Chain A
Amino acid sequence: MVSRGNRLASPGVPATAGGGSAVAASELAKGVNARDPGTALALAEEVLGRALRIGATEAEVLVMAGDSALTRFANSEIHQNVVERSMTVNLRYVVGKRIAVVSTGKVDTDGLRSLVNRAAAIARSCEELDDWAGLPVPDGAAPADVAAWSDGTAEATPEFRAEGVRAVIAAADAAGVGAFGSFSTDAEAVAVANSAGIRAAENRTSAQLLTVHMSPDGGTGYAEGVSMDATTIDAAAIGREAAAKARASDRAVAIEPGDYSVVLEEYAVVDITDMLGYLGFSALAVQEGRSFVEPGRRIGSDLVTITDDGADRHGLPMGFDYEGVPKERVPLVDAGICREVVYDSQTAARAGRRSTGHGLPAPNPYGPFPLNAVVSAGSTSRDALIGGLDRGLLVTRFHYTNVVHPKLAIVTGMTRDGTFLVERGEIVGPVRNLRFTQSYLDALAGVSAVSDSRKTIRGFLGAAVVPALRIDGWTFTGVTEF
């Protein structure tokens, strides 16, 4: 069941900090939980009040609290099963242009008092940051009313996750293969209060079920489901998808590396959005001269449109970033043309504009990041994607990708869990996994078809909504033994 959850956000909340008592703050901390962002915000305000009272000229408090659980299975049995409750209070303490960041998981009276005192001491020791532009200020816009919370996820029990795992295993058993994967559920409250008047709080949930099915005849297959609402994940269907893929990839044969056209399934496509987000779609990357992005530059075919949208209901929504700034919908690539990049408050100040709401928790040397990439769907059915390959490869997933050349966005990695040769539009059979060394920019330029359906896939920081892609020209540079 999906519900709106609870949200408190600027404007409309007085820009006054709490009383600043560590005792009061620790009492509040006892009541903080994933369901109650209001208490998390009250805690943030108390800590903020104390920071201002002892001498901060500016301060920002980020509270993240919640419950995380993960049930892990291998060889068709559960072998790890963990639950965790935790809270982090992150304080950015500013004196003039001297900035310190201290975080703690100790939220008793001593812990919170120590948090503020340590931050004050560190700030006094720091050099001034000459272009410090101040903490973000509320600009009147409230965060989008995103649906980020599901009771179904928040109430997920170990028994619920085990039931899902058993459904995955049953699908594996039916196909005579083994199941290896995990089912996780997370619920958290996030609250931000700063001395400039930012007040933002919401609660968020997410769930992910993934599995690799492994056949005794050598085949492997992957499937994944990601949702804000764990109850909407169809475990049996995920199990069947992976099982079918595993059986289909039995007895793979080696082919020569070289240039092939490819169809990348969504599980592989998410790596492209992740990598390009890291390498180029950040304002910091642009400001440091290490990004490939230039407004108006064509980097993809007309079929490629990428947006960052924290409100997209198909993804894992979030209304504001870790500085409490409402998330804007940012067009990154429009019909193949670079448009904008994402900003946090510091990169925005340098550029003389406002933040787009893409800040990560301070301190953040990596700069802003698009956590909610959305690639527009196309008009080609999945069958037609493959049907359009004269000779090429269908790739399920990538493994262990890494950047070889940042400005050219050259990435290397392996295929994994289902790689198939396609000839004259038909899958001929499974092939051994291949290594690629490929510019992801050239890949976008080579997109010749985009699927009409999409999946939500978890990336290395956020989650992306992506279609499958057909790409003309992909450079495979090696082959492995399986």
Chain B
Amino acid sequence: MRDLTDRALDTAAQFGATYADVRVVRRRDESISVKSGRVEGVALGETDGFGVRVLVGGAWGFAASDTLDLAEADRVGALAVRVAKASATALRRPVELDGRAPATGTFETPFVEDPFKIPLETKISDLVEADRAAGRVKGVAFTESVYTGHREWKTFAATDGSFTEQVLTQVGSAVESNAIEGDEHQRRSYPDAGGGYQAAGYEYIRSLDLAGHAEQNAEEAVALISAPQLPPGRRTLVLDPSMLYLQLHESCGHPTELDRVFGTEASYAGTSFLTPDKLEAGFQYGSELVTIVADATAAGGLGTFGWDDEGVEAQAVPLIQNGRFVGYQSSRETAPRVGSRSSGGMRADGWNRIPLIRMTNVNMLPVPGMTLDDIVADTDDGLYLANNRSWSIDDRRLNFQFATEVAYEIKGGKKGRLFKNATYTGITYEFWRSCDAVGDERSFVMLGTPNCGKGEPSQTARVGHAVSGARFRNVQVGVGKW
């Protein structure tokens, strides 16, 4: 491997690169999909290749190939330089990188049971059992269940002498029930729409106990068909971790990405309302209970690693401290522009994509004092919303709207009847300022999504979110005409 990385870097340097790095990435993905009790697909995907990123005259170039040999290293290294020279013809601010010591070492995410050594028959059997348990519930139209295993081997080398090797192993799974009657289609999923995911082994899948939760979940899907429509109004909301993590993702994770702030995602994902003047002013993003960090060292997160994809060591970076905006997720290129050093957030979607600032594990820290159940008990009149069903937010991350699979009415501190088609909407900072209770460590759970989209060409990132649930006051619900 070192032969190839050395060759690519040497070639890039010979052709004029002032800085170059190369990533060699191998990925293995295994997936099982079960639909209405039948195994619909078992798939295994493997890909490997390398990408070379260069700076020439302060301009970036990148080239990649799936052919791992020295001749291709020469071609790709030289091509990256040619691409950078083309970039330099439309350059106004030459790139400057922050300083860091060369990165060296190895890292692996821990696991107990290697998911790729668990017999396929076992994984299929576990998933089918859960799916069929859901499907046995009367009124269920169809069920869908998924399992995925993901492993990535990454080697990073740079002209500054960096050389790191990492192995990341992640798994996820879900069971979902659908009930349909007339124009009504209701869904309940466990543990989350799309799945619960962690950097872990098969022990995490076992801990989910999909089969044990499938029946109750399916019964709720059926019950939702005849549940009343959530009426519009302003209500107190208690968000289950299965909803809160996506709220965090969309309205804090993305707007604190510094590349968005500087406009480099403007044409696709958008920009951010959290401009540098707000950082200097200590903008009040949320209530004092709201503390949010980007933590690439958190156990079990999909954004956990040893070094990011430009060789910056994993770290925990505060974004919101007791409600105040205090930091960005950044890169070696962007951080100096706000007077700081990279937060270690540069990640690429495989060997053929350039790294972008991506969330690692953006976590909302628990607050000692109340469990999530205590928060419900402390709520006289409100709604408990769980499992996201739909998400949308404007291109500066201010106006959002979410829908959840289920809403339980809270009356007198107790969860009661169901409402269907629950939606809520607001403005990001107004919403987070209305947070008046956050669950403690007893409900603090690591969740995440394997498909966060950003960038052109399109990239998906695997990001983690640990949350404990929280309460928000005076939120608009029941949006639209029904």
Measured CB to CB, the residues of A under 8 A from B are 68, 70-88, 99-107, 111, 114, 118-119, 121-123, 125-127, 129-130, 157-159, 161-162, 165-166, 169, 178, 180-182, 184, 210-212, 214, 288-290, 292, 362-365, 399-408, 410, 412-414, 416, 433, 435, 437-439, 475, 477-482
Contact = CB atoms under 8 A, between A and B. Distances in A.
Contacts of B60: 78-81
Nearest to A69: B83
A81 B87 contact: yes
A406 B396 contact: no
B39 interface: yes
Contacts of B389: 404
Contacts of A480: 394, 396, 398-399, 427
A434 to B, nearest CB: 9
B480 A127 contact: no
13 contacts: A85-B66, A101-B44, A102-B45, A104-B47, A105-B66, A106-B46, A125-B120, A364-B41, A414-B394, A437-B479, A479-B399, A480-B394, A480-B396
B124 A125 contact: yes
Contact of B423 (A86, A362, A433, A437): A437
Contact of B456 (A100, A127, A158, A184): A184
Contacts of B104: none
A364 B399 CA distance: 34
Nearest to A259: B481
A414 B270 CA distance: 12
Contact of B263 (A74, A78, A477): A74
A475 B178 contact: no
A20 B139 CA distance: 49
Interface of B: 31, 33, 35, 38-49, 59-67, 79, 82-93, 119-121, 124, 128, 141-142, 144, 178, 180, 183-185, 262-268, 270, 273, 352-354, 389-396, 398-399, 401, 403, 421, 423, 425, 427, 456-457, 479-482
B36 to A, nearest CB: 9
B395 A72 contact: no
A342 B334 CA distance: 46
Nearest to B182: A407
A478 B263 CA distance: 25
B402 to A, nearest CB: 9
Contact of B90 (A86, A162, A289, A402): A162
Given A85-B66, A365-B35, A481-B273, A290 B267 contact: no
Contact of A101 (B42, B86, B93, B267): B42
Contacts of B40: 129, 363, 365
Contact of A105 (B49, B84, B399): B49
A407 B185 contact: yes
Given A70-B457, A362-B41, A480-B399, A81 B144 contact: no
A126 B39 contact: yes
B141 A289 contact: yes
Nearest to B92: A77
A interface: dominant SS: strand
B87 A86 contact: no
B63 A412 contact: no
Given A81-B60, A182-B267, A414-B394, A125 B90 contact: no
Contacts of B92: 75-77
A371 to B, nearest CB: 16
Contacts of A400: 392-395
B396 to A, nearest CB: 6
A68 B353 CA distance: 11
Nearest to B33: A365
Contacts of B184: 407
B142 A288 contact: yes
B42 A401 contact: no
B22 to A, nearest CB: 14
Given A82-B63, A82-B83, A127-B128, A406 B393 contact: no
Given A78-B90, A162-B90, A182 B456 contact: yes
A78 B86 CA distance: 9
A437 B63 CA distance: 42
Contacts of B425: 435, 477-478
Nearest to B420: A405
Contacts of B423: 404, 412, 437
B380 to A, nearest CB: 27
A86 B179 CA distance: 42
A77 B65 CA distance: 26
Given A76-B92, A475-B480, A122 B267 contact: no
A481 B41 contact: no
B266 A212 contact: yes
A180 B266 contact: yes
B91 A77 contact: yes
A345 B64 CA distance: 35
Given A83-B64, A105-B47, A365 B264 contact: no
A74 B44 contact: no
Given A71-B87, A125-B124, A364-B41, 8 more contacts: A74-B267, A82-B457, A101-B42, A363-B42, A365-B144, A407-B185, A412-B403, A412-B480
